[in-house]
Amino acid sequence: MAKKIVGYIKLQVPAGSANPSPPIGPALGQRGLNIMEFCKAFNAKTQDQEKGVPIPVTITAFSDKSFTFEMRTPPASYYLKKAAKLQGGSKAPGRDFVGTVTKEQVRQIAEAKFKDLNANDIDNAMLLIEGSARSMGIRVVE
């Protein structure tokens, strides 16, 4: 018989540095899950990635206090800020531009995120990434 799913927990955890402090500890603790087991498993899976990269994680909690987790690619905003060498986005997107990225950089970001995007091909994925860039106040140039 399959395990009964109690719920899902969505978190954004820095790669290689999961620890029991908030937000991980309280989120897993209220479901009765083993916090240290998650931290060790997550850090082991992300040890080959750059330390501190935000990784979206969906944790599936089961009724017997066990869990599984699924990792996704880092957010498009992380990649865009890294490509444009920025700390944050614009305070008034559409009017104030804080940086620029090239079409080639947008293509690389779209290829990296393609499996997590709702796009049929790389051109549609590029349009999604360009929209994210505009909403952050980043100009896309040729």
CATH number at 20 reads 3.30.1550.10
CATH number at 83 reads 1.10.10.250
Q: Note whether 84 and 127 are same-domain residues.
A: yes
pLDDT at residue 2 above 60? yes
Q: Is 19 helix (H, G, I), strand (E, B) or coil?
A: coil
Q: Note whether 20 and 63 are same-domain residues.
A: yes
Q: Note whether 83 and 128 are same-domain residues.
A: yes
Q: Note whether 9 and 31 are same-domain residues.
A: yes
Q: What's the pLDDT tens digit per position in 40-94?
A: 999 999 888 888 899 999 999 998 989 999 999 999 989 998 888 888 777 887 7
Q: Note whether 62 and 9 are same-domain residues.
A: yes
Neighbour-count burial for 12-35, b at 16+ CB within 10 Å, e otherwise: ebbbbebeeeeebeebbeeeebeb
Number of domains into which the chain is organized: 2
Q: Note whether 9 and 61 are same-domain residues.
A: yes
Structure tokens at 102: 């090239």
Last residue of a domain, one of 20, 36, 71: 71
Q: What's the pLDDT tens digit per position in 17-37?
A: 888 888 888 988 888 899 999
Instruction: With CA atoms as reference, report the closest residue to 59 among 7, 116, 4.
Output: 7
Q: Indicate the pLDDT class of residue 111, thresholds 50, 70 and 90.
A: very high
Q: Note whether 98 and 124 are same-domain residues.
A: yes
Last residue of a domain, one of 71, 87, 106: 71
Range of the domain at 83: 76-141
Q: How far apart are CA 131 and CA 125, in angstroms?
A: 10
Last residue of a domain, one of 16, 49, 71: 71
